[in-house]
Amino acid sequence: MKILVVMDVDAKQTQWLEMAAPEADFCYCPGDGSQAGKALEEADVIIGNIAPDLVKEASQLKWLQLNSAGANEYCRPGILQAGVTLTNATGAYGLALSEHMLAQTLAMMKKLYRYYDNQHQALWRDEGPVTSLYGATVVVVGFGNIGRNFGQRVKAMGAHVIGLRRRQGAVPPEADEMGDMAHFNDYLAQADIVASCLPDTPETYHLYDAVRFGAMKKGAYFVNVGRGTNVDQKALRHAVVSGHLAGAALDVTDPEPLPSSDPLWKTPGIYITPHISGGYHLQATHDYIVRIAADNLKRYLAGDPLENIVDLMTGYKA
Protein backbone atom coordinates (compact mmCIF):
# COMPACT_ATOMS: atom_id res chain seq x y z
CA MET A 1 0.00 0.00 0.00
CA LYS A 2 1.34 3.42 -0.99
CA ILE A 3 0.53 6.39 1.23
CA LEU A 4 1.17 10.00 0.25
CA VAL A 5 1.32 12.45 3.17
CA VAL A 6 0.91 16.07 2.07
CA MET A 7 0.38 17.61 5.51
CA ASP A 8 3.30 18.74 7.65
CA VAL A 9 4.37 16.14 10.20
CA ASP A 10 7.24 16.14 12.66
CA ALA A 11 9.38 13.15 13.66
CA LYS A 12 7.02 12.08 16.45
CA GLN A 13 3.97 12.29 14.22
CA THR A 14 5.76 10.43 11.42
CA GLN A 15 6.37 7.61 13.87
CA TRP A 16 2.67 7.47 14.78
CA LEU A 17 1.72 7.08 11.12
CA GLU A 18 4.35 4.49 10.30
CA MET A 19 3.57 2.45 13.41
CA ALA A 20 -0.06 2.36 12.31
CA ALA A 21 0.88 0.92 8.90
CA PRO A 22 4.33 -0.67 9.26
CA GLU A 23 4.21 -2.46 5.90
CA ALA A 24 3.12 0.58 3.90
CA ASP A 25 5.30 2.64 1.58
CA PHE A 26 5.12 6.25 2.80
CA CYS A 27 6.00 9.34 0.76
CA TYR A 28 6.12 12.72 2.50
CA CYS A 29 5.59 15.77 0.32
CA PRO A 30 4.22 18.68 2.38
CA GLY A 31 2.11 21.14 0.45
CA ASP A 32 -0.84 20.89 -1.90
CA GLY A 33 0.38 17.82 -3.78
CA SER A 34 1.63 19.70 -6.83
CA GLN A 35 5.20 18.51 -6.24
CA ALA A 36 4.33 14.89 -5.50
CA GLY A 37 4.67 13.63 -9.08
CA LYS A 38 4.65 9.85 -9.40
CA ALA A 39 3.82 9.43 -5.69
CA LEU A 40 0.50 11.16 -6.35
CA GLU A 41 -0.29 8.98 -9.35
CA GLU A 42 0.42 5.78 -7.40
CA ALA A 43 -1.07 6.67 -4.00
CA ASP A 44 -3.66 4.32 -2.56
CA VAL A 45 -4.15 6.67 0.38
CA ILE A 46 -3.56 10.42 0.71
CA ILE A 47 -3.29 12.06 4.12
CA GLY A 48 -3.75 15.83 4.08
CA ASN A 49 -5.50 18.51 2.05
CA ILE A 50 -4.28 17.98 -1.49
CA ALA A 51 -5.44 20.63 -3.96
CA PRO A 52 -8.91 19.48 -5.08
CA ASP A 53 -8.09 19.85 -8.78
CA LEU A 54 -5.15 17.44 -8.37
CA VAL A 55 -7.19 14.59 -6.90
CA LYS A 56 -8.07 13.32 -10.37
CA GLU A 57 -4.37 12.62 -10.97
CA ALA A 58 -4.38 10.07 -8.13
CA SER A 59 -5.70 7.28 -10.33
CA GLN A 60 -5.14 4.57 -7.70
CA LEU A 61 -6.72 6.52 -4.84
CA LYS A 62 -9.07 4.63 -2.55
CA TRP A 63 -9.18 6.88 0.52
CA LEU A 64 -8.50 10.57 1.18
CA GLN A 65 -7.99 11.61 4.81
CA LEU A 66 -8.22 15.40 5.16
CA ASN A 67 -6.39 17.40 7.81
CA SER A 68 -9.33 19.82 7.98
CA ALA A 69 -12.84 19.49 9.34
CA GLY A 70 -14.25 21.33 6.33
CA ALA A 71 -14.66 19.09 3.29
CA ASN A 72 -16.98 20.97 0.95
CA GLU A 73 -14.35 21.57 -1.76
CA TYR A 74 -13.89 17.81 -2.13
CA CYS A 75 -17.61 17.05 -2.34
CA ARG A 76 -18.19 18.80 -5.64
CA PRO A 77 -19.01 16.57 -8.63
CA GLY A 78 -15.96 15.38 -10.51
CA ILE A 79 -13.44 15.80 -7.69
CA LEU A 80 -13.45 12.27 -6.26
CA GLN A 81 -13.74 9.18 -8.41
CA ALA A 82 -16.52 6.73 -7.62
CA GLY A 83 -15.60 4.47 -4.73
CA VAL A 84 -13.11 6.83 -3.07
CA THR A 85 -13.76 7.27 0.66
CA LEU A 86 -13.40 10.78 2.10
CA THR A 87 -12.73 11.34 5.81
CA ASN A 88 -12.08 14.57 7.67
CA ALA A 89 -10.43 15.68 10.91
CA THR A 90 -13.56 16.33 12.93
CA GLY A 91 -12.63 16.18 16.61
CA ALA A 92 -9.21 17.77 16.23
CA TYR A 93 -10.19 21.42 16.39
CA GLY A 94 -12.58 21.68 19.32
CA LEU A 95 -10.03 22.76 21.92
CA ALA A 96 -8.30 25.44 19.84
CA LEU A 97 -11.40 26.98 18.30
CA SER A 98 -13.49 26.98 21.46
CA GLU A 99 -10.75 28.77 23.41
CA HIS A 100 -10.44 31.33 20.61
CA MET A 101 -14.21 31.84 20.63
CA LEU A 102 -14.23 32.27 24.39
CA ALA A 103 -11.38 34.79 24.24
CA GLN A 104 -13.12 36.83 21.55
CA THR A 105 -16.45 36.72 23.36
CA LEU A 106 -15.01 37.93 26.64
CA ALA A 107 -12.89 40.58 24.92
CA MET A 108 -16.06 42.07 23.43
CA MET A 109 -18.19 41.76 26.55
CA LYS A 110 -15.50 43.32 28.75
CA LYS A 111 -14.59 45.99 26.16
CA LEU A 112 -10.97 44.89 26.20
CA TYR A 113 -10.50 46.02 22.59
CA ARG A 114 -11.41 49.57 23.56
CA TYR A 115 -8.94 49.57 26.42
CA TYR A 116 -6.24 48.18 24.14
CA ASP A 117 -6.88 51.04 21.70
CA ASN A 118 -6.81 53.52 24.58
CA GLN A 119 -3.45 52.17 25.71
CA HIS A 120 -1.91 53.08 22.33
CA GLN A 121 -3.05 56.64 22.93
CA ALA A 122 -1.89 56.66 26.56
CA LEU A 123 -5.54 57.35 27.37
CA TRP A 124 -6.76 56.56 30.90
CA ARG A 125 -10.54 56.41 30.38
CA ASP A 126 -13.37 54.36 31.83
CA GLU A 127 -15.35 52.78 28.98
CA GLY A 128 -18.42 52.13 31.08
CA PRO A 129 -20.67 49.11 31.76
CA VAL A 130 -19.76 45.60 30.67
CA THR A 131 -21.70 42.35 30.43
CA SER A 132 -21.13 38.83 31.76
CA LEU A 133 -21.41 35.27 30.55
CA TYR A 134 -22.96 34.40 33.91
CA GLY A 135 -26.70 34.23 33.28
CA ALA A 136 -26.32 34.96 29.56
CA THR A 137 -28.09 32.88 26.92
CA VAL A 138 -25.62 31.51 24.39
CA VAL A 139 -26.99 29.99 21.19
CA VAL A 140 -24.39 27.78 19.52
CA VAL A 141 -25.27 27.15 15.88
CA GLY A 142 -23.65 23.92 14.76
CA PHE A 143 -23.30 21.76 17.86
CA GLY A 144 -20.65 19.36 16.66
CA ASN A 145 -17.23 18.92 18.23
CA ILE A 146 -16.32 22.62 18.10
CA GLY A 147 -19.75 23.80 19.23
CA ARG A 148 -19.85 21.32 22.11
CA ASN A 149 -16.39 22.38 23.29
CA PHE A 150 -17.49 26.01 23.31
CA GLY A 151 -20.77 25.12 25.01
CA GLN A 152 -18.89 23.27 27.73
CA ARG A 153 -16.72 26.29 28.47
CA VAL A 154 -19.42 28.94 28.58
CA LYS A 155 -21.77 26.67 30.52
CA ALA A 156 -19.04 26.26 33.15
CA MET A 157 -19.02 30.06 33.45
CA GLY A 158 -22.74 30.19 34.19
CA ALA A 159 -24.25 30.68 30.73
CA HIS A 160 -27.46 29.02 29.56
CA VAL A 161 -26.44 27.10 26.45
CA ILE A 162 -28.80 26.26 23.58
CA GLY A 163 -27.26 24.05 20.91
CA LEU A 164 -28.71 24.01 17.40
CA ARG A 165 -28.29 21.20 14.90
CA ARG A 166 -30.06 20.11 11.72
CA ARG A 167 -31.92 17.55 13.83
CA GLN A 168 -32.63 18.35 17.46
CA GLY A 169 -31.61 15.12 19.23
CA ALA A 170 -30.98 14.50 22.93
CA VAL A 171 -29.48 17.17 25.19
CA PRO A 172 -25.75 16.48 25.74
CA PRO A 173 -23.89 17.54 28.91
CA GLU A 174 -22.45 20.61 27.15
CA ALA A 175 -25.90 22.17 26.62
CA ASP A 176 -28.97 23.10 28.64
CA GLU A 177 -31.29 22.82 25.65
CA MET A 178 -31.14 21.55 22.09
CA GLY A 179 -33.05 22.89 19.12
CA ASP A 180 -33.21 22.47 15.37
CA MET A 181 -32.88 24.88 12.48
CA ALA A 182 -36.63 24.84 11.79
CA HIS A 183 -37.04 27.33 14.66
CA PHE A 184 -33.80 29.21 14.01
CA ASN A 185 -35.19 32.76 14.26
CA ASP A 186 -36.96 32.00 17.54
CA TYR A 187 -33.68 30.89 19.11
CA LEU A 188 -31.80 33.89 17.71
CA ALA A 189 -34.27 36.18 19.48
CA GLN A 190 -33.33 34.63 22.84
CA ALA A 191 -29.57 34.92 22.46
CA ASP A 192 -27.20 37.29 24.19
CA ILE A 193 -24.41 35.62 22.20
CA VAL A 194 -24.77 33.78 18.89
CA ALA A 195 -21.76 31.56 18.18
CA SER A 196 -21.65 30.00 14.71
CA CYS A 197 -19.63 26.88 13.83
CA LEU A 198 -21.18 25.94 10.49
CA PRO A 199 -19.53 24.46 7.39
CA ASP A 200 -19.71 25.89 3.88
CA THR A 201 -22.65 24.21 2.16
CA PRO A 202 -25.37 25.46 -0.20
CA GLU A 203 -27.79 25.43 2.75
CA THR A 204 -25.57 27.64 4.92
CA TYR A 205 -24.74 30.27 2.28
CA HIS A 206 -25.70 33.70 3.69
CA LEU A 207 -27.71 31.99 6.41
CA TYR A 208 -27.04 35.11 8.46
CA ASP A 209 -28.69 37.85 6.42
CA ALA A 210 -30.48 41.08 7.29
CA VAL A 211 -33.56 39.18 8.47
CA ARG A 212 -31.55 36.90 10.75
CA PHE A 213 -29.48 39.71 12.24
CA GLY A 214 -32.70 41.64 12.73
CA ALA A 215 -34.15 38.67 14.60
CA MET A 216 -31.33 38.80 17.14
CA LYS A 217 -31.78 40.58 20.43
CA LYS A 218 -30.64 44.21 20.49
CA GLY A 219 -27.23 44.31 22.15
CA ALA A 220 -26.34 40.71 21.27
CA TYR A 221 -22.87 39.60 20.18
CA PHE A 222 -22.06 37.47 17.13
CA VAL A 223 -19.06 35.13 16.82
CA ASN A 224 -18.23 33.21 13.63
CA VAL A 225 -15.57 30.52 13.33
CA GLY A 226 -17.46 28.50 10.70
CA ARG A 227 -17.13 29.87 7.19
CA GLY A 228 -17.26 33.40 5.84
CA THR A 229 -19.84 32.36 3.25
CA ASN A 230 -22.32 31.77 6.08
CA VAL A 231 -22.63 35.56 6.53
CA ASP A 232 -23.99 38.42 4.44
CA GLN A 233 -21.22 40.78 5.51
CA LYS A 234 -23.03 43.95 4.40
CA ALA A 235 -25.97 42.97 6.59
CA LEU A 236 -23.66 42.23 9.50
CA ARG A 237 -21.90 45.56 9.16
CA HIS A 238 -25.24 47.38 9.13
CA ALA A 239 -26.38 45.49 12.23
CA VAL A 240 -23.25 46.57 14.12
CA VAL A 241 -23.05 50.15 12.83
CA SER A 242 -26.73 50.72 13.62
CA GLY A 243 -26.16 49.57 17.19
CA HIS A 244 -28.51 46.62 16.91
CA LEU A 245 -25.62 44.24 17.62
CA ALA A 246 -23.11 45.15 20.30
CA GLY A 247 -20.24 43.54 18.40
CA ALA A 248 -19.07 40.77 16.12
CA ALA A 249 -15.90 38.66 16.14
CA LEU A 250 -14.99 36.99 12.85
CA ASP A 251 -12.24 34.44 12.32
CA VAL A 252 -13.57 33.76 8.82
CA THR A 253 -14.58 36.11 6.00
CA ASP A 254 -15.66 35.98 2.37
CA PRO A 255 -13.35 36.23 0.53
CA GLU A 256 -10.16 35.24 2.29
CA PRO A 257 -7.90 37.12 2.58
CA LEU A 258 -10.31 39.99 3.14
CA PRO A 259 -9.34 42.84 0.76
CA SER A 260 -7.73 45.82 2.47
CA SER A 261 -10.44 48.04 0.97
CA ASP A 262 -13.27 46.11 2.63
CA PRO A 263 -15.13 48.34 5.13
CA LEU A 264 -15.29 45.53 7.70
CA TRP A 265 -11.66 46.22 8.61
CA LYS A 266 -12.43 49.69 9.92
CA THR A 267 -15.90 49.14 11.34
CA PRO A 268 -15.95 49.85 15.10
CA GLY A 269 -17.35 46.83 16.92
CA ILE A 270 -16.20 44.26 14.35
CA TYR A 271 -13.09 42.31 15.30
CA ILE A 272 -11.30 40.22 12.69
CA THR A 273 -8.69 37.49 12.97
CA PRO A 274 -7.33 35.94 9.73
CA HIS A 275 -8.71 32.39 9.99
CA ILE A 276 -6.13 31.38 12.57
CA SER A 277 -8.25 29.86 15.33
CA GLY A 278 -7.57 26.41 13.92
CA GLY A 279 -4.61 25.37 11.82
CA TYR A 280 -1.51 24.18 13.64
CA HIS A 281 -1.16 27.19 15.92
CA LEU A 282 -1.86 24.95 18.91
CA GLN A 283 0.41 21.91 19.00
CA ALA A 284 -2.36 19.78 20.46
CA THR A 285 -4.45 20.37 17.33
CA HIS A 286 -1.67 19.15 15.06
CA ASP A 287 -1.24 16.06 17.23
CA TYR A 288 -4.99 15.36 17.25
CA ILE A 289 -5.11 15.48 13.44
CA VAL A 290 -2.28 12.98 13.04
CA ARG A 291 -3.77 10.72 15.72
CA ILE A 292 -7.06 10.68 13.80
CA ALA A 293 -5.20 9.74 10.61
CA ALA A 294 -3.13 7.06 12.36
CA ASP A 295 -6.16 5.53 14.06
CA ASN A 296 -7.98 5.46 10.73
CA LEU A 297 -4.98 3.78 9.09
CA LYS A 298 -5.27 0.98 11.64
CA ARG A 299 -8.98 0.64 10.90
CA TYR A 300 -8.38 0.67 7.16
CA LEU A 301 -5.81 -2.11 7.34
CA ALA A 302 -8.04 -4.16 9.64
CA GLY A 303 -11.02 -3.75 7.33
CA ASP A 304 -12.97 -1.87 10.00
CA PRO A 305 -15.23 1.14 9.33
CA LEU A 306 -13.34 4.44 9.22
CA GLU A 307 -14.09 7.33 11.57
CA ASN A 308 -15.22 10.72 10.24
CA ILE A 309 -16.50 9.54 6.86
CA VAL A 310 -17.90 12.55 4.99
CA ASP A 311 -21.31 12.41 3.33
CA LEU A 312 -20.55 13.77 -0.14
CA MET A 313 -24.12 15.03 -0.52
CA THR A 314 -24.07 17.24 2.57
CA GLY A 315 -20.36 17.94 3.17
CA TYR A 316 -20.86 16.89 6.79
CA LYS A 317 -19.48 13.96 8.73
CA ALA A 318 -21.90 11.13 7.98
Burial 143-181 (b: 16+ CB within 10 A, else e): bbbbbbbbbbbbbeeebbbbbbbeebeeeeebbeebbeb
Q: Is the peptide bond before 255 cis (omega within 30 degrees of 0)?
A: yes
Catalytic residue, chosen from 76, 203, 256, 281, is: 256
Is 183 annotated in the active site? no
* SS3 call for 116: helix
Contact (CB, 8 A) for 182 and 162: no
Write out the DSSP string of 215-236.
Answer: HSPTTEEEEE-S-GGGB-HHHH
Catalytic residue, chosen from 100, 160, 212, 227, is: 227
Is 256 annotated in the active site? yes
Burial 291-315 (b: 16+ CB within 10 A, else e): bbbbebbeebeeeeeeebebebebb
Catalytic residue, chosen from 275, 291, 299, 307, is: 275
Rg (CA), the chain: 21
Is 57 annotated in the active site? no
Instruction: Return the active site residues.
Output: 227, 256, 275
